[in-house]
Amino acid sequence: QVQLVHSGAEVKKPGASVNVSCKASGYTYTTYYIHWLRQAPGHGFEWMGIINPSGSTTTYAQRLQGRVSITRDTSTSTVYMELRSLRSEDTAVYYCALDYADYVDNRFSPTYYFDHWGQGTLVTVSS
Amino acid sequence: EIVLTQSPGTLSLSPGEKATLSCRASQTVSTYLAWYQQKPGQAPRLLIYGASNRGNGIPGRFSGSGSGTDFTLTITRLEPEDFAVYHCQQYGSSPRTFGQGTKVEIK
């Protein structure tokens, strides 16, 4: 059974950085992409970024470019999301989500829908 | 950016009744549309992808339909565990976007 386990809740001051981790287990194959999304109170989900199976390639949402970084430790099946220069509007629950990918034209490509989600990490930004 | 509008915002129904949820896209997304179920304190769960394909282990009472800009999630005969918030998501166009959700509550 696939599990994505998040690190614990965080409280940060404006201008600080936060690092959230997500550890995957129960999935035999390594060919999966990991996405990060967030959900602010009373809002829908917002897609933040994606990292490929090897951890060599990332793509970020345009509005978060320059503030977000996603990295991956394949040896521990853990993915990290760092968000910098935090603002009050970054207060949200942050989720990692697994994308099994499609194998098309002899290569894997992300589907951009989310087969499994973690339970989320609440990040509160407050002075 | 494609805007997804879900309706109604809240649906009040009794167990055993049929639920019909709507998701309308501001531009065509073909069939690149997914539905998720979210319960308080739990990880969201993929129900439907490709507008009409059920995810792994999803019961047959959940079905999705539609293409282009209009989509429907139907839950025939609501079970107690089905009362939750349902979100649609389009993944055919960047940035991938979500609707605001429909809450299905017990009447």
Q: Do A45 and B56 touch (CB under 8 A)?
A: no
| Six token digits for residue A14 | 């404006």
**Does residue B83 register a pLDDT over 80?**
yes
Instruction: Please report the pLDDT score of residue A31 as a whole number.
Output: 79
A119 in contact with chain B, both atoms CB, cutoff 8 A: yes
Compare all CA atoms of chain B with the CA of A44 and give the residue at the minimum distance.
B100
Cα B87 to Cα A42: distance, rounded to the nearest angstrom? 13
Residues 50-69 of A with CB under 8 A from B: 61-62
Q: Do A119 and B45 touch (CB under 8 A)?
A: no
**Does residue B54 register a pLDDT over 90?**
yes
Chain B closest-CA separation from residue A48 CA (Å): 9
pLDDT grade, residue B41 (50/70/90)?
Answer: confident
The proportion of chain B whose per-residue pLDDT surpasses 70, expressed as a percent, equals 100
Instruction: Please report the pLDDT score of residue B17 as a whole number.
Output: 97
| Candidate from B87, B91, B101 with C-beta closest to A112 | B91
- Dump the DSSP string for A96-114: EEEE--EEETTEEE--SS-
Strand runs labelled E in chain B: 4-7, 10-13, 19-25, 33-38, 45-49, 53-54, 62-67, 70-75, 85-90, 97-98, 102-106
Q: Which residues of chain B lie closer than 8 angstroms to A43, CB-CB?
A: 100
DSSP state of B45: E
A110 in contact with chain B, both atoms CB, cutoff 8 A: no
Chain B closest-CA separation from residue A68 CA (Å): 16
Compare all CA atoms of chain A with the CA of B89 and give the residue at the minimum distance.
A113
Instruction: Please report the pLDDT score of residue A10 as a whole number.
Output: 98
| Candidate from B34, B45, B101 with C-beta closest to A44 | B101
Chain A closest-CA separation from residue B107 CA (Å): 22
DSSP state of B76: S
Instruction: Please report the pLDDT score of residue A28 as a whole number.
Output: 66
Give CA separation, B64 vs A38, B55, B97, in Å: 25, 11, 18
Cα B92 to Cα B27: distance, rounded to the nearest angstrom? 10
> For each of chain A's 127 residues, which pLDDT tens digit applies?
889 999 999 999 999 999 999 999 887 667 789 999 999 998 999 999 999 988 899 999 999 989 999 999 988 989 999 999 999 999 999 999 999 988 888 888 999 999 999 999 999 999 9
Tally of CA atoms within 13 A in the half-sphere of B100 that contains its CB: 10
Instruction: Please report the pLDDT score of residue A29 as a whole number.
Output: 65
| Six token digits for residue A99 | 């994308």
- List of residues 6+ apart from B6 with CB closer than 8 A: B21, B22, B23, B24, B86, B87, B88, B99, B100, B101, B102
A118 in contact with chain B, both atoms CB, cutoff 8 A: yes
Instruction: Please report the pLDDT score of residue A27 as a whole number.
Output: 76
Residues 6-35 of A with CB under 8 A from B: none
Q: Which of B66, B56, B98, B28 is nearest to A43 (CA)?
A: B98
* A53 backbone φψ class: left, alpha, beta (φ>0; ψ -120 to 50): alpha
